[in-house]
Amino acid sequence: MAERVVLAYSGGLDTSVGIGWLHDATGKDVVALAVDVGQGGEDMEDIRRRALDCGAVEAVVVDARDEFADDYLVPALKANALYQKRYPLVSALSRPVIAKHLARVAKELGADSVAHGCTGKGNDQVRFEAAVAALAPELTSIAPVRDLALTRDKAIVYANEHNLPIRQSAANPYSIDKNVWGRAVETGFLEDPWNAPVEDLYEYTQDPSVPREPDEVTVTFQAGVPVALDGVAHSVLSIVEKLNDLAGKHGVGRIDVVEDRLVGIKSREVYEAPAAMALIEAHEALESLTLERDVNRYKRGVESEWSNLVYDGLWFSGLKRSLDAFIDDTQKYVSGDIRLRLHGGRATVTGQKSAQSLYDFELATYDTGDTFDQSLSKGFIELWSLPSKISARRDLVQ
């Protein structure tokens, strides 16, 4: 029996081309592994058959949708994760769960290597290989498309010559990655940042400029985790799916950004992440209501570092685990209801309440009944500004 290599298979151009190359170059039988992370509209059985048609000796499909939502999206939401303040880590979050199953299946089959279809320019090659190295250091990682230096147009030609059942063509050259947290689109005419995205590019969101009546939805959180919509309990996966539909109808979560890739180049990416952006907006509002000022301020820096680590493929790193411990501790009192108004491409917080709220109406009000002792402020300001006053006196003497 020939040795085996387990390939992370998406059903797209790069991994379809990769099956034949792997077998020819290594002599190993290729096992395709497709992981369902909520791609939306993708028939996983169709992907499995496509892998076999492309030459895989076996095709394994894993339904990881709830695992992805509970174990990867929830930590990201608790961290309000946005790379460079804008990108909700759509692809970066799916790679560690795929790598986890990649390593697991390889071990179960006794394979000594795994493979992926990433190019040498992207972040995902690092994310897959760093995750596998952390989980199964004995495994070797192979990247057939990268190692052959195939460009997308050459890969299309190769696929056509070998009659591989793929959807890309010279007329449709986009590279698309999607899961339940969002959708990422790159390449083609988008490589020129001056070119505006066209409406046909989008799938998860509708045109926000089209007039329509706004919708309101109330999201309930328990210890930082979304648990209900409009008072009805749902799983995290179901909440994300429902908000993708509702917020997507209003064009919420369209993002057009030039981001700094890990490999050192800038890349123009178009994302749509309606549920992600709506939930982050709601979660941040609830934190503002329930977290102490200094915790909230400090957490913003932790969130940035957390997002950088995940973007850079270090989900399983020691620092990431330590930051998770801090973030989890901050979520103890992040429970309550946030009302969102969805309209015109925006999710706007219009109401917030929590039994754990630190907002004290009697202290905050300017009306009669105010319990804040304003006479204390004068002395407080004098002490607060004393270091500045002393240093200013010194500077004037110089």
Which residues are documented as binding site for L-aspartate?
119, 123-124
CB-CB contact of 105 with 333 (8 Å): no
Neighbours of 54 (CB within 10 A): 25
Distances (CA, A) of 388 to 367, 377, 379, 380, 393: 33, 17, 15, 14, 9
Q: Which residues are annotated as a binding site for ATP?
A: 8-16, 117
Q: Is 260 a catalytic residue?
A: no
Annotated catalytic residue within 4, 48, 95, 254: 95
Annotated catalytic residue within 94, 113, 175, 307: 175
Report the C-alpha gap between 85 and 80 in whole angstroms.
10
Q: Is 14 a catalytic residue?
A: yes
Q: Is 71 a catalytic residue?
A: no
Torsion angle of C-alpha atoms 126, 130, 133, 134, degrees rounded to 10: -170
Q: Which residues are annotated as a binding site?
A: 8-16, 87, 117, 119, 123-124, 127, 175, 259, 271
CB-CB contact of 123 with 263 (8 Å): yes
Dmax over CA atoms of the chain, in Å, equals 86
Annotated catalytic residue within 29, 124, 312, 337: 124
For the chain, how are helix, strand and coil distributed in percent, rounded to 5? Answer: 45, 20, 35
Q: Which residues are annotated as a binding site for L-citrulline?
A: 87, 123, 127, 175, 259, 271
Report the C-alpha gap between 257 and 270 in whole angstroms.
6
CB-CB contact of 89 with 255 (8 Å): no
H-only helix segments in the chain: 13-26, 44-53, 65-68, 74-78, 90-109, 124-135, 144-148, 152-161, 236-248, 274-290, 293-311, 318-330, 361-364, 375-384, 386-397
Q: Is 153 a catalytic residue?
A: no
Task: Name the residues annotated as catalytic.
Answer: 14, 95, 124, 175
